[in-house]
Amino acid sequence: MSLTVGDPAPDFTLPGSSGQSIALAAMRGHKIVLYFYPKDDTSGCTLEAQGFNALLADFEAADARVVGLSPDPVKSHDTFCGKYGLRFPLASDESKETLRAYGVWVEKSMYGRKYMGVERTTLLLDREGRIARIWPKVKVPGHAEEVLAAARDLA
């Protein structure tokens, strides 16, 4: 990832779940939890989404907005949200332009096969849209709780 703490987060406007347009600039003034994940309805991504969803009221109490972002199409996001009752928006970046801007569209390897995919990463942005914290190569268990603690600590 080429972005570092203190950098302004790259702006984006993307289509999102429930027919909404998700614009980073429209959320300024709030803390933003932006989490990048590989694919809807897979085991790790489902657990991660459920973790954020379970703590959503706590994130809102800390004045933090949660947004998930993957290359899946909006229709897939809508199905994923409906199946698991997700109450926060999921942004769709089918062009992968935003994923590249954040440095999370990377070469991966599984069983010796190389392919391009999303490196599970979370960023916490401050109220001005600057990167306050980065969690690269996220391990899902306990992650949402750790991000919530950081959001609470951020002014």
C-alpha of 136 from chain center: 12
Confidence (pTM): 0.94
Specify whether 45 is catalytic.
yes
Catalytic, out of 45, 64, 86, 90: 45
**Angle in degrees, CA 57, 59, 64, rounded to 5:** 130
Residue 125 pLDDT greater than 80, yes or no: yes
Mean pLDDT score, 57-79: 97
1: pLDDT confidence band, cut at 50, 70 and 90? low
- Asked if residues 105 and 1 have their Cβ atoms less than 8 Å apart, the reply is no
Structure confidence at residue 110 as a pLDDT band (50, 70, 90): confident
**35-49 average pLDDT score:** 97
